[in-house]
């Protein structure tokens, strides 16, 4: 928690002092008043995309309207699977004995982020696998991945949300639909390369799964999660982030023992 506190202290100081010489910009009450925030989260509603076999989001009205005491009141209840919409996959999802969603340290979900843009290739090939070569190309242009970085993979498929056929290859539901899924993901070879050669906090992307749609063994999940690296899936608005220069806050619903959960993820751009 000391590292997390230091990060927020740094951000507060940065944005408190950034415009200190400009009397027209007073940040004394809100140190983030001049920060640029990007919401990387899709709202949950009846159109939210889920895995074909998962229960979708349902919102029911418990009460909405004027009470007999003369004031307005509304309350709702919802039901859904852990894995759908913008969500986090905890390591225990594919690695026995690893952390559940409530056990992931907060400082692993907050920090500097980079974007690896493979959208040109991924949009031309629905089964594209983000490769070691993609990471090496990024590093050639930007330097080696910093330690404790959050990696975000931009495939460009966010443009298709919330059309399930365009976004994930099929709008069908049920077990038989899984074989018809087609969307990009992370090559297991690249997942292993990250684990063996780099030190990252977490990884996310703008598709339904860190493994590509045609995966049957979900090897990238297995490799990353055995190394205690969580994944963010169905991340929104990655086209609004720079390649470098953003800080991510990714806080999931704290479900005790959960294999994942709904995620509110935002980024502050330098």
Is residue 9 domain-resident? yes
Cα distance between residue 8 and residue 72, in whole Å: 38
**What are 250's strand-pairing partners?**
265
- Tell me, what's the pLDDT at 232? 99
Is residue 148 located within the same domain as residue 220?
Answer: yes
Is residue 59 domain-resident? no
Cα distance between residue 18 and residue 12, in whole Å: 10
Number of domains in the chain: 2
Residue with tokens 């806080």: 251
Tell me whether strands 185-186 and 129-130 are parallel, antiparallel or unpaired: parallel
Is residue 30 located within the same domain as residue 40?
Answer: no
Is residue 45 located within the same domain as residue 17?
Answer: no
The answer to whether residues 86 and 227 touch, using CB atoms and an 8 Å cutoff, is no
The answer to whether residues 49 and 85 touch, using CB atoms and an 8 Å cutoff, is yes
- Tell me, what's the pLDDT at 21? 47
Residue with tokens 């390591």: 91
Is residue 113 located within the same domain as residue 45?
Answer: yes
Q: What are the φ/ψ torsions at residue 140 (nearest 5 degrees)?
A: -65, -35
Cα distance between residue 42 and residue 232, in whole Å: 12
Is residue 10 located within the same domain as residue 45?
Answer: no
Is residue 237 located within the same domain as residue 129?
Answer: yes
**What are 87's strand-pairing partners?**
233, 262
Is residue 17 located within the same domain as residue 137?
Answer: no
Is residue 63 domain-resident? no
Is residue 231 located within the same domain as residue 248?
Answer: yes
CATH number at residue 161: 3.50.30.50
Is residue 160 domain-resident? yes
- Tell me, what's the pLDDT at 158? 98
Is residue 22 domain-resident? yes
Q: Name the CA radius of gyration of the chain, rounded.
A: 20
Is residue 75 domain-resident? no
Is residue 131 located within the same domain as residue 24?
Answer: no
Residue 28 class from Cβ within 10 Å (0-12 exposed, 13-18 middle, 19+ buried)? exposed
Is residue 20 located within the same domain as residue 50?
Answer: no
Is residue 123 located within the same domain as residue 190?
Answer: yes
Q: Containing domain of residue 24, as a range?
A: 1-34
Is residue 229 located within the same domain as residue 260?
Answer: yes
Tens digits of pLDDT across the chain (270 residues): 444 445 554 554 455 454 444 545 555 678 788 889 999 999 999 999 999 999 999 999 999 999 999 999 999 999 999 999 999 999 999 999 999 999 999 999 999 999 999 999 999 999 999 999 999 999 999 999 999 999 999 999 999 999 999 999 999 999 999 999 999 999 999 999 999 999 999 999 999 999 999 999 999 999 999 999 999 999 999 999 999 999 999 999 999 999 999 999 999 998
Is residue 198 domain-resident? yes
As a whole number of Å, the end-to-end CA separation of the chain is 23
| Residue 217 structure tokens | 């063994």
CA distances from 233 to 16, 107, 165, 211, 257 (A): 33, 19, 17, 10, 19
Q: Compute the residue count for the chain.
A: 270
* Dihedral sign computed on CA atoms, order 99, 103, 106, 107: negative
Cα distance between residue 119 and residue 189, in whole Å: 19
- Tell me, what's the pLDDT at 174? 98
Is residue 74 domain-resident? no
| Residue 144 structure tokens | 């080696």
């Amino acid at each position: 928690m000391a590292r997390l506190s230091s990060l927020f202290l740094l951000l507060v100081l940065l944005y408190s002092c950034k415009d200190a010489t400009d009397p027209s910009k007073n940040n004394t009450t809100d140190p983030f008043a001049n920060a640029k925030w990007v919401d990387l989260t899709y709202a949950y509603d009846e159109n939210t995309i889920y895995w074909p076999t998962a229960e979708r989001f349902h919102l029911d009205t418990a009460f909405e309207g004027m009470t007999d005491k003369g004031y307005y009141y509304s309350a709702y209840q919802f039901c859904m699977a852990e894995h759908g919409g913008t969500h986090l996959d905890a390591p225990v999802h594919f690695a026995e004995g690893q952390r559940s969603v409530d056990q992931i340290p907060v400082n692993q979900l907050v920090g500097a982020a980079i974007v690896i843009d493979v959208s040109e290739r991924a949009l031309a090939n629905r089964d594209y696998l983000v490769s070691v070569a993609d990471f090496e190309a990024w590093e050639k242009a930007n330097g080696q991945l910093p330690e404790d970085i959050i990696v975000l993979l931009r495939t460009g498929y966010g443009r298709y949300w919330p059309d399930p056929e365009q976004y994930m290859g099929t709008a069908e539901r049920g077990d038989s639909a899984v074989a018809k899924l087609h969307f990009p993901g992370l090559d297991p070879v690249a997942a292993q390369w990250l684990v063996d050669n780099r030190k990252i906090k977490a990884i996310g992307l703008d598709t339904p799964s860190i493994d590509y749609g045609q995966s049957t063994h979900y090897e990238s999940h297995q490799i990353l999660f055995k190394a205690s690296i969580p994944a963010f899936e169905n991340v929104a608005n990655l086209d609004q982030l720079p390649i470098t220069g953003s800080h991510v806050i990714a806080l999931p619903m704290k479900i005790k023992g959960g294999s994942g959960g709904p995620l509110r993820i935002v980024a502050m751009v330098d």
